[in-house]
Amino acid sequence: MFKRRTPEAPANPPQVVKPGGKGRPTPKRRDAEKRRRQPITAPSTGKEAHKRRRAQLAEERAKAREGMAKGDEKHLLKRDKGPVRRLARNYVDSRRTVGSYLMYAMFVIVLLSMLPIPAARLLVLFAPPVLLLVVFGEGLLLSRGIKKLAAERYPGEDAKGVGMYAAMRAMQIRRLRIPNPQVRIGETDKI
């Protein structure tokens, strides 16, 4: 009365392989866990844990510094990210600026101030303000030029602060700029 009335199952049922299936049976849990287990390498003391953590952080900082120097977008600071900022960097890096030589000039002025020659002392008196005015004027021109170029090339992008960014980069010594310059001086075709 409560008996099944289905026919007997065949001795060898056909294997049905689903398309995209893995083609092997699922491993038992204990076997999967055994393969996944690794020996614990936890530090035995707090001092050793601190040492490992410092080494790991130093490695991460080195990678970030290297990526930042190359101009890799994911490692850049927020102030350096975006196509407008990249354009500003290339715009400044493709030119020789008085601002990039300002530190060298100030060093020479300090050396000249040590000389007992009256003409050198007079030069030391008037040279710094003149240099600063020239650098300030150059910064204004760079700022205006990059804002205009950014508005042409990237009309939808936010160009807020890009002029000051370009002016500040122009005052840095070329070798010390971060991210490193991606264009040579005079390469205006890559801007």
Q: How confident is the model at residue 74 (pLDDT cuts 50, 70, 90)?
A: confident
To the nearest 10 degrees (0 to 180), the angle between helices 83-93 and 162-170 is 30
The CA distance from 103 to 117, in Å, is 23
The CA distance from 49 to 81, in Å, is 35
Least confident among 12-21, 41-50, 143-152, 180-189: 12-21
**pLDDT of amino acid 9:** 63
**pLDDT of amino acid 76:** 87
